Structure 1
């Protein structure tokens, strides 16, 4: 049974990150499209009790939360495709350090930028402009630190691409559209960001997740 990715066809958020990991690891998969208005259905909640997306079905093994899915895929296929988690002790420690930073110091503020920016863009409410500016200011503190880190190494966990870098794409890919330029301002962050969004795995998702990907 080919692995199933249950997600909307758009590429933002965790669903796009999981699809990108599947492509980087060259894992054949089938997209099972989910409509947004079905997230609270009994059938969906039986697989994802929080009513969110995405989740995978790997021959009957159900797993949700994009970071958990990405780690699972890397650990199941360590020798296939792009290596996304280092195994050497100190390199892995630096990976875990960067993963903790992404989860604690980037994701909450990136999510706030996304939510406020979406409201500002599509509703145009004055309060949403204020919330957006505040969220961008909060996120900028982390990006300023990234600028220093990326002045010393190619990626956030060292000189090799890891899952940590890919985890930033979900919200980051929406920033320019929403009016946030934090990922293209500083020379080091801009260089890193252009690198990861120029990967063939992300470019191939630009028109949405295709129904099926297979590999030779």
Structure 2
């Protein structure tokens, strides 16, 4: 039975992360388009898979898993010998990936989402942004990226010299900051961050996903 991915068609958010792992690993899957505007994610059938009624969700031959980062780890681990080594098996190497992934979750994601909500989500809903909230988020994110600059002065990627899930997780929302006029990820004042970020967002699989959307791999 081919793996089923319940998500939207746009390469963004958690669905985009899972789709990128599927693309990098060339894992066959069936896309089950879940229309949030029609509240398909709140039906009893969907809530039986994801009790919070969110996407993405995968069904891997009856094994149901939700939460994008957990799905990405599962897929990268199951298909470790296929495609790039996104989740190394060695205990020390994996610990470094988990360390960097924890940094993303605890330090990077929150200010990014603070800015994203004001600059992207609010205008999309016809609401006015609060510039003071944007400015606070930029200040917070800038401080975190100053630390990233130090880390990335020593290694090519966040967990070493190979692209891993720790880098991939940063694609949840940060690529859209530039759409709101916040080019903080490629600022010349942080050349190592800019070098790393340009590398991450120009990976062929990600570029293809952004251009074509999420599509089935058979």
Report the TM-score when normalising by structure 2.
Answer: 0.92
- 2:70 maps to which residue? 68
SS of the equivalent of 1:5 reads strand
Are positions 1:148 and 2:150 aligned together?
Answer: yes
- 1:125 maps to which residue? 128
Kindly state the Cα deviation for residue 125 of structure 1 after the two structures are TM-superposed: 2.2
Q: Is the 8 A contact 1:116 1:135 kept in 2?
A: no
**Superposition map of 1:97-108 within 5 A:** 97-108=99-110
Kindly state the Cα deviation for residue 208 of structure 1 after the two structures are TM-superposed: 4.5
Report the TM-score when normalising by structure 1.
Answer: 0.93
Unaligned segments of structure 1, at least 5 residues: none
Q: Is the 8 A contact 1:8 1:34 kept in 2?
A: yes
The counterpart of 2:138, out of the listed 136, 139, 145, is 136
Are positions 1:202 and 2:206 aligned together?
Answer: yes
Kindly state the Cα deviation for residue 144 of structure 1 after the two structures are TM-superposed: 1.1
SS of the equivalent of 1:205 reads helix
- 1:113 maps to which residue? 115
CA distance in 2 between partners of 1:48 and 1:189 (Å): 36
Q: Is the 8 A contact 1:183 1:189 kept in 2?
A: yes
Kindly state the Cα deviation for residue 121 of structure 1 after the two structures are TM-superposed: 4.0
- 1:191 maps to which residue? 195
SS of the equivalent of 2:147 reads helix
SS of the equivalent of 1:213 reads coil
Kindly state the Cα deviation for residue 155 of structure 1 after the two structures are TM-superposed: 0.2
Are positions 1:177 and 2:196 aligned together?
Answer: no
Kindly state the Cα deviation for residue 77 of structure 1 after the two structures are TM-superposed: 1.0
CA distance in 1 between partners of 2:214 and 2:138 (Å): 32
Kindly state the Cα deviation for residue 88 of structure 1 after the two structures are TM-superposed: 2.4
Q: Cα RMSD over matched residues?
A: 1.5
Q: Is the 8 A contact 1:157 1:164 kept in 2?
A: yes
Unaligned segments of structure 2, at least 5 residues: none
